[in-house]
Structure 1
Amino acid sequence: MKNKTYLQPGNLVDLLLDAICVVDKEGYFVFASPACERVFGYSADEMIGRVMIDMVYPPDRERTLQAARDIMSGNSKPNFENRYLRKDGQIVHILWSARWSEEDQVRIAVAHDISERKRSESLQAALFAISEAAHSTTDLPGLFQQVHMIVGELLPAIHFSVVLHNQQTGELSFPYRADERQQASAAYAPDAEVFGTEVIRSGKTLLLSAETLAQQPEHLRKLHFDSLYWLGVPLNSHQGTIGALIVQSHSLAEKDKELLQFVSTQVATAIERQQMISHLQFMAQYDQLTGLPNRALLSDRLQLALVRAQREQLQLALLFLDLDKFKQVNDTLGHAAGDLLLQLVAERIQQCLRAMDTVARFAGDEFVVLLEDFRSPDHAAMIAEKIRKALNQPFDIQGQSQRVLPSIGIALYPQHAADSQQLLHQADNAMYLAKKNGGNRYQLGAEQRLNCDIQL
């Protein structure tokens, strides 16, 4: 039988992948195995004499001290998790198995690095959270705020931006930009625009620091770095690069780049989905030619306005507007010219209204204006006359001067009707009376009392 050479106990401790730490009752390290350097970044000699709690990630310190008190009371902790700050500033997740030695008056603990497991779990949680946000958030700014919070849990970002690229115009926009306190910050916008443009142009992830600037093009070397790192990840979709996520931090590594790349795929999908939903909603509620609310959206707003008016005993008015002899423009100049004229008419009507008022394209060359929150019936007449005069100013259509002569009917709630259908019907009838009496005028109610002072 061959003689066997057995390793000494001390050598076995040196070979362990997990770190062994011994802490006295005052909280000082009195022993650290060689594996501590792999886990914490500090050599055993550097750790001995240090205060244990000073190495703990600040948000975890209170519960770590409570766990230490429990252990010293005789309660072993076989599965305690907390986070430590490595020597290089990175956060490491530790699974501890610890007990108290009453005889030696020390805590003896084994530290297992579970950072990779935690990172994987965090990624899965982030992907789920982003997917959930994409389905539950009804607007892109709300989605970007959710993504900022999710990314903030994964890497130490002091600034976070979303930059989007309009592929039709080539323009960049910053729909979301915030600092580590979730507050809007425009101080670094010019640099962010330069950096974001480069990421989108190249379609590649870019991680820059002051040390790596020498290898970069001149326009990137002009960025303000100080002690910051810049990380930009393109938002790639099947349509191309639609934007980028930009992060600034005091500490970023290759693993952070991989992490943000992983997240960016989900973010790009979520953005596309939200944009598609917004586009479909716009198509369902707005006129594609003029961008004005369509008949369906007008109906919804009118119903809500009537409820408010009934509850608060307010007045409201509908102005039904038709363009006299509009067909002649289509027949003489073509439908493209007619479409342009309708767009210009829509703009001029909007300029005559308050932000709270609604103008909708009802059909063809017909528009309806909803006026709320006024005290005198004269208000509706004043607006009608303002619109008439605005439309009478010449339009330049394909180099030709065109005047628009509108016929406008006015119906008031509650004087002329008590519900939306009757109100619209009364305004429509009033418009036809105005048209019947020569056009380019307004008619208040379906009565024979016209604004006869208008010079045609």
Structure 2
Amino acid sequence: MNMNNDDCRLLKKLGINSCEEVARELAALLKSIPDVYCRTDAEERIILLSEMVTRHLGYTSEELEGRRLDCLYPDEAAYTGFISELEKQGRLRDYQIQLKHRDGHGVWFSCHAGFRHDIRGRRIGIELTGHDIGQQKQQQSMLTHLSRITEQTADVVVITNVHGIIEYVNPAFEKVTGYRPDEVLGKHPNLFASDQQSEEFYAHMWSTLLAGKVYRNNLINRRKDESLFHAEITITPLMDEKAEITHFIATARDISEHIRDKVRLKHLTHHDSLTDLPNRSLFLDRLQQAISKARHHDRLVAVLFLDLDRFKNINDSLGHSAGDQLLQQLGERFRRTIREGDTIARFGGDEFVIMLDDFDSDNSLSLIAQKILNSLAMPFEIEGHEIFITASIGISISPDDGKDPDTLLRNADIAMYRAKELGKNNFQYYSESMTARVFERLTL
């Protein structure tokens, strides 16, 4: 370590006379300094440095003493900028610089720096102290990164205080809800509640959150324009060092389209793609439920099995496209004809099946069957042609004609074929003699 005459005179005034004593005092001082400390001479060569330099930058004192201060900077531009700022301000406080570690990577410091002057005011070097802010910089970088993610994510992000008052919303919030940030900041999230969730739903949510646990669920919220949307939400309690909740951060994803897709898929699974009527699967499910309900309330359930007469002739003469159009129009006409609460399904081809579970007698059932046949009296307009069609209907009634869906359908089908045998365009009730006739025909 080197000292100039002014340093020596100053030390003598302090009662330190010998070089050995100076060295001991200085070494103890440099060892005790908790921060990086560096001093240069007038030529900006390093003459003193603390032991913290080794810990933070990896150099030994011997490697740095006598070298210019710029050896600690990653490049000439960084050092020139530091000197320029120092000359401009005379002294720097909390000046953030990046110094070069011995292995080449950069280490961030917050520094105090200034020029040293002798008693005559001449510049005799630079003095610099600094503490490592690498972890702080890393945290700031992470926060900046997280902020960028939050600002750019398509998911809604909402931060509230512990009382639920909104303190932050990201840009996606406005896109999804229609509310501008200034319209919701300082307000409670119940502003966009939909009343689609029960009190028990919210009670469970708050009990989970106040227990310090993450809450996940799907709910329905209301946009500014009053339209509803489905959201997949995750709410996380944020805690301080005392493990006390200070904030809640909620992320939400608009899953309305996903829900609509599920509904559409479920509909397609249970409905005929041509007529949009219930298909066999849905019909059998509803029939089973109706039979079970009727059994408990001592009521009847009827199945009407309808088959179009000579439908094949239409397909053969006008083509399958015309046949499909006819089936679609038939489905719509049957919908308008049957009563609300009754179920009509298409089983495929030209077969339609109707379930009735609210009728008083065979007479009322006959009136309904005749009404269905009468609905076919008006022609159908298909590709410029007027098409007339009739149908044959077979009727079975539970529990006498069957106590399960398969038996009811089979017996209604048998009755329908009996209607065709009797000239078509009529309806027939199932009887056991029909089964005997079918069995006899099969035996022959």
Considering the TM-score relative to the shorter chain, is it more than 0.5?
Answer: no
- Bigger-Rg structure (1/2): 2
TM range (shorter): 0.3 to 0.5
TM-score w.r.t. the length of structure 1 is 0.43
